[in-house]
Structure 1
C-alpha cells in the first residue's frame, strides 16, 4: 500500500496544476480561522460572528464540517484530472507494463482518495479544536469531544464524493467532460427533486415523505443528508423564527442509515471503476 501511495503522490506533486489546487484547498480550510473576524450590521444591530455561539463546543463540529465541505470541489478537480492524465499521458499503460495489475491501479487511486479525505478530516479536526478552545464558552472535555460524529460524517462524505469523481474520471477519460457530468448530475438530482416534491407529486405529506425517502438513496443527496445545514441551530436564528411564528422541527443528527448508504455508494463507485478498467482495452 505504501508503494502504491508513493507512486500516486509522486504523480500529483509533479503536476503543477494539481499541486496548486491542493495548496488552495488546504489554504481555504485554514481560512476558517478568519470567520471569527466577520462583522456586519442589520439595521441598528451590530453582529460579530464569534459572539453568536458558532465556535462553542460541541456546535462548532457541526458548523466547521458543514462549511469545510464546500471546498471539496478543488480536490474533486485534482482527482478527476489525476485519472484523466493517466489516459492522456499514457502513464496508466506504462504502469501496467511495469508490472502493476489493474486491481493495483484502482487500489492506488482509492488509497489516494481515502488519504485526501483523512488528511482533510484531520486538518478540520485541528482547526476546530484551536477555534473552539479560543472562543468557546464551554471547554469541559465531555462537551468538547461530544458530537464528533460530524467529523466521521465529514470523512465518509469526502470519501464517497472523491470516489464518485474517480469513477467519472475512469468512465469519461476527459476531466472537463467528467466535471461537466458531475455538475449535470448535481442539477439533475436537485431540479428533479424540486419538481417532484413541490410540483407534480408532493401534494400530500405522505407523497412528499415518499419522495424524500427515494431521493435519500441517490448519491449526492445521501452525502448531503449526512451533514445538514447548521445555521438554524443557532439561538439567535431560533429566536427570530419564534418571533415570526416559524417552528423549527429539523433533525440535525447524523443518522446511521445515511452513513450506510454513503458507504455502499463508495464501494459501488470503486468496484465499478475496477470493472470498467478491467474490461477496457488500454
Structure 2
C-alpha cells in the first residue's frame, strides 16, 4: 500500500494543476473560520453568525462537514485530472511495462482517494475543534465528542464521490468530460426524481415514496449522508415556531446511507478495474 501511494504522490508532486487545486481546496476549508467574522445588520436587527450558535458543540460537526462537502469538487478535479494525465502522458502504459499490474494500478488510485478523503476529514476535524473551543458555549468533553459520526459520514461521502470521479476519469479519459459526465448524471438523477414525484402525485406520503427509491442512487445517497444543518439551528427553529411551523426532520447519520454509499464505492472501483482489464492500452 505504501509503495503504491508513494508512486501516486510522486506523480502529483510534479503536477502543478493538482498542487494548485489542492492548495485552493484546503485554503477554502480553512476559510470556514471566516464565517465567524460575518455580521448582518438590517436596521435594528443585528446578527453575528458566531453568536448564532453555528460553532457550538456538537452542532459544529454537522455544520462544518456539510459546508466542507460542498467544496469537494476542487479535489474531484484533482482525481479526474490524475487519471486523464495517465493517458495523456502515457504513464499508465509505462507503469504496466515496469511491472505494475492493472489491479495494483487501480488500488494505487483508490488508496490515493482514501488518502485525500482522510486528510480532508482530519483537516475539518482540527478546524472545527479549534473554532468550537474558541466560540462554543459548551465545553464539556461529553458534548464535544458527541455527533462525531458526521466526520465518518464526511469521510465516506468523499471516498464515494472521488471513486465515482475516478471511474468517470477512466471511462472517458479526459478530465473535462469526466466532470461534465458527473454533472450530466446529477441532472439525470434530478429528472428521475421529478418523474417520481409526478408518478406518485396522487399517492399518500409522496415524498417518502420518492425518497425510498431515490436513496439508492449514488449522488442522492451521498447527499443523504449529511443532511442540511440550517433548519436544525436554534434561531431558525425559534423563528419557525413563532410562525407555527414545526420541524420533524431527522438529521442523524443513518447506517443505511453509509452502507449504500459504501456499496457504490465498491461498484465504482470494481467497474474501473474491469474497464481497465478490457481496454487495449
More displaced stretch, 38-47 vs 228-237:
38-47
1:207, distance to aligned residue in structure 2 (A): 4.0
Find the counterpart in structure 2 of residue 194 from structure 1: 194
Task: Name the CA distance, whole Å, in 2 between partners of 1:261 and 1:93.
Answer: 34
- State the partner residue of 1:137: 137
Partner Cα separation in structure 2 for residue 192 and residue 37 of structure 1: 40
* Residues 1:222 and 2:199 are matched in the alignment: no
Secondary structure of the residue aligned to 2:110 is: helix
Counterpart CA distance in 2 for 1:25 and 1:204 is 44
Q: What residue number does 1:237 align with?
A: 236
The equivalent residue for 1:156 is 156
Mean Cα deviation higher: 236-245 or 253-262: 236-245
Aligned equivalents of 1:55, 1:207: Cα separation in 2 = 35
Q: Over aligned residue pairs, what C-alpha RMSD do you find?
A: 1.1
The Cα of 1:8 is off from its aligned counterpart by: 0.5
Extract unaligned runs of 5+ from structure 2: none
Which residue does the alignment assign to 1:106? 106
Measured in 2, the distance between the counterparts of 1:208 and 1:144 equals 34
Measured at CA, do residues 73 and 138 of structure 1 come closer, stay the same or move farther in structure 2, by a change above 3 Å?
same
Aligned position for 1:34: 34
Which deviates the most, 178-187 or 201-210? 201-210
Q: Is the alpha carbon distance of 1:186 and 1:43 closer, same or farther for their aligned partners in structure 2, counting shifts above 3 Å?
A: farther
CA contact (8 A) 1:150 1:254 kept: yes
Q: What's the TM-score once normalised by structure 2's chain length?
A: 0.98
What are structure 1's unaligned runs of at least 5 residues?
A: none
Measure, in 2, the Cα distance between the counterparts of 1:202 and 1:162: 35
Task: Normalising by structure 1, report the TM-score.
Answer: 0.97
Q: Give the equivalent residue in structure 1 for 2:277.
A: 278
Question: How many positions carry a matched residue from both structures?
Answer: 281
Q: Deviations over 1:142-182 (max 9, x none)?
A: 11000000000000000000000000001111111111110
Corresponding residue for 1:2?
2
Deviation at 1:201, TM superposition (A): 2.2
Deviation of the 1:194 alpha carbon: 2.9
Q: Secondary structure at the match of 1:205?
A: coil
2:42 & 2:221 partners in 1: Cα distance?
A: 35
Once the two structures are superposed, what CA deviation does each residue of 1:250-282 show, in whole Å capped at 9, x if it has no partner?
110000011000100011100110010011110
